[in-house]
Structure 1
Amino acid sequence: MEVIFIDRLSLVGELKLQYTQGRCVMRNVAYSDMWQRTLSNAPAMTTPLPREERLVMYSNEPLTQMLGGHALMAILRGFGVEHSVALARQAWELGFECIELPIQSERDLDALRAVVAAGAEIGKSVGAGTVVTLEHVRQARDAGAAFTVSPGYDREIVRASFEAGMPPLPGVGTASELQSALAAGLTWLKVFPASALGLSWFTAMAGPFPQAKLVATGGMDASNAESYLATGARVVAVGSALADPAQLPLLAGILNNHHLGANRN
């Protein structure tokens, strides 16, 4: 019998083992607020498998509560404390629900803490972006971030984010990365750099990976957001567009159109 060994308690979602034709198979059952695993009929193992042979399953479906049903996400990069808070409030007034602040300096961390505090007052989720080291994960947690975002797919960052209580949004840019992330249980994935990959990438990936919930990031603004949403992106993340007064009414229109469409459906 081939055994899939589950190593770690840091799983978001209840998992259980089933036996199918002599093979031990793991499937995701349901999201649990307790962030725990349930293993039924798991075979006893006296000798753990080597780390590279262990299959660890995660689920970042809690991101659906933050991103699901919202066409746009805001990225506030390098604006400093006061401007970041002002742009965040502006974004919330436009209809944005989710905001990401990349953390690459102490100034960025100060801005993240300030926007987290402002968001907490009105029940908005704020995440930490450009999380590429374990130290970044710690800093994001200490600043009160609700989730982490990374430009690439790093299993150690994913694991550490879950253990810190923050569902991760890792980045992918190839079919292999997308397949690996989905196999690990991750369904919400950042596509970066989306503008360089192009609309055809989203069309091509939709065939073999219809379960993927993709967030188009990189080079996105009011002029191309609708095209990416129509081609397979669940969410489009916009950054510098938020600081362009000419784009604000266009972004508000996109949010409103998709909100109305969701209500009709």
Structure 2
Amino acid sequence: MTATAAATRVPPSPLLLAGRAVAVLRADHAERYRPVIDVLVDAGITSIELTLTTPGTTEVVQQLVRQYAGRAEIGVGTVLSRDVAIAVLDAGAAFLVTPTVQPDVIQVASGAGRAVFPGAYTPTEIQAGWNAGATAVKVFPASSLGPAYFRSIAGPFPDIPLMPSGGVSIDSIPEWLAAGAIAVSLGGELLGDSLRGGDLAELASRARRCRDAVDSAGSADSR
């Protein structure tokens, strides 16, 4: 790890450490975000990732950041370039998420004092993301590896915080957190069809189950 990466690494936010769950929103258009975020935040899911594969995301980041200020942190995922990273950070994104290790994106985020979670799969990729200055490393797709992988990684890399993403179920949250995950990232298992006009009451029920599952696992400080 370079001295620069160590000096600029941004720690996880208090909201993430308390909430320990990130909701990943992927929709056919960003206009579907708001009612879903309302339900999630009311249920205690306060770290929200908007994905750039959703049309219109860059245009709504600033507005949503302002609307939920003090209640939730709004980040942006699927960030693939330095220019896009700068644009969404300028709009107020609280954190960035990448599908792979993108050193230039990590550098931009940490230099701006924002958290960044690069995606990785292998031990080599995990270490590369951490050495580049990641806040924590997003292990993706986590469902292919399982919580036992986190326990194994903790041996050689005890100081690298990890966050599973991709196929994490609500019922498996306690197991992931017990295995050492700093937080979990959930998409379809949590959101269901809510971003396609589905029942928001059902979303609220799943979000409360998610919150209960996190609470049953205790705080991140015990990691």
TM-score (norm 2): 0.81
Give the match's secondary structure for 1:68.
helix
Aligned residues: 211
Q: Do 2:147 and 2:179's aligned partners in 1 also have CA atoms closer than 8 Å?
A: yes
Q: How far apart, CA to CA, are the structure 1 residues paired with 2:186 and 2:177?
A: 13
Q: CA deviation at 1:59?
A: 4.1
Give the match's secondary structure for 1:117.
helix
- The equivalent of 2:18 in structure 1 is 69
Give the match's secondary structure for 1:169.
strand
CA 1:232/1:62 → structure 2, altered by over 3 Å: closer, same or farther? closer
Q: CA deviation at 1:147?
A: 1.3
- The equivalent of 1:35 in structure 2 is none
- The equivalent of 1:90 in structure 2 is 39
- The equivalent of 2:150 in structure 1 is 202
**1:262 lines up with 2:219 in the alignment:** yes
Over the aligned positions, Cα root-mean-square deviation in angstroms equals: 2.7
Q: CA deviation at 1:105?
A: 5.1
Q: CA deviation at 1:86?
A: 1.2
Give the match's secondary structure for 1:101.
strand
Structure with the larger RCO, 1 or 2 (CA within 8 Å, 6+ apart): 2
- The equivalent of 1:14 in structure 2 is none
Give the match's secondary structure for 1:161.
helix
Q: How far apart, CA to CA, are the structure 1 residues paired with 2:17 and 2:221?
A: 16
Q: What amino acid maps onto 1:226 in structure 2?
A: P
Q: CA deviation at 1:264?
A: 11
Which structure 1 segments of 5+ residues have no match? Answer: 7-25, 27-54
- Decide which of 147, 155, 158 is 2:106's aligned counterpart: 158
Q: How far apart, CA to CA, are the structure 2 residues paired with 1:180 and 1:264?
A: 25
- Decide which of 118, 121, 125 is 1:177's aligned counterpart: 125
Q: Do 2:30 and 2:55's aligned partners in 1 also have CA atoms closer than 8 Å?
A: no
| Identity rate, percent | 28
**Which has more helix, going by share of residues?**
2
Give the match's secondary structure for 1:254.
helix
- The equivalent of 2:186 in structure 1 is 238
Q: Do 2:12 and 2:135's aligned partners in 1 also have CA atoms closer than 8 Å?
A: no
Which structure 2 segments of 5+ residues have no match? Answer: 193-201
Q: CA deviation at 1:154?
A: 1.5
- The equivalent of 1:45 in structure 2 is none
CA 1:199/1:257 → structure 2, altered by over 3 Å: closer, same or farther? closer
Q: CA deviation at 1:177?
A: 1.7
Bigger radius of gyration among the two: 1
Q: CA deviation at 1:164?
A: 3.9
Q: How far apart, CA to CA, are the structure 2 residues paired with 1:76 and 1:67?
A: 16
Give the match's secondary structure for 1:104.
coil
- The equivalent of 2:87 in structure 1 is 139
Q: How far apart, CA to CA, are the structure 1 residues paired with 2:220 and 2:185?
A: 22
**1:215 lines up with 2:163 in the alignment:** yes
CA 1:210/1:197 → structure 2, altered by over 3 Å: closer, same or farther? same
Q: How far apart, CA to CA, are the structure 2 residues paired with 1:212 and 1:115?
A: 31
Q: How far apart, CA to CA, are the structure 1 residues paired with 2:47 and 2:142?
A: 19
Q: Per-residue CA shift, 1:163-186, capped at 9, x if unaligned?
A: 344332111211112223333443
TM-score (norm 1): 0.70
Q: Per-residue CA shift, 1:139-178, capped at 9, x if unaligned?
A: 2123220111111112111112233443321112111122
Give the match's secondary structure for 2:19.
coil
Q: CA deviation at 1:117?
A: 2.5
- Decide which of 201, 212, 222 is 1:253's aligned counterpart: 212
Q: Do 2:80 and 2:98's aligned partners in 1 also have CA atoms closer than 8 Å?
A: yes
Q: How far apart, CA to CA, are the structure 2 residues paired with 1:262 and 1:162?
A: 25
Q: What amino acid maps onto 1:137 in structure 2?
A: A
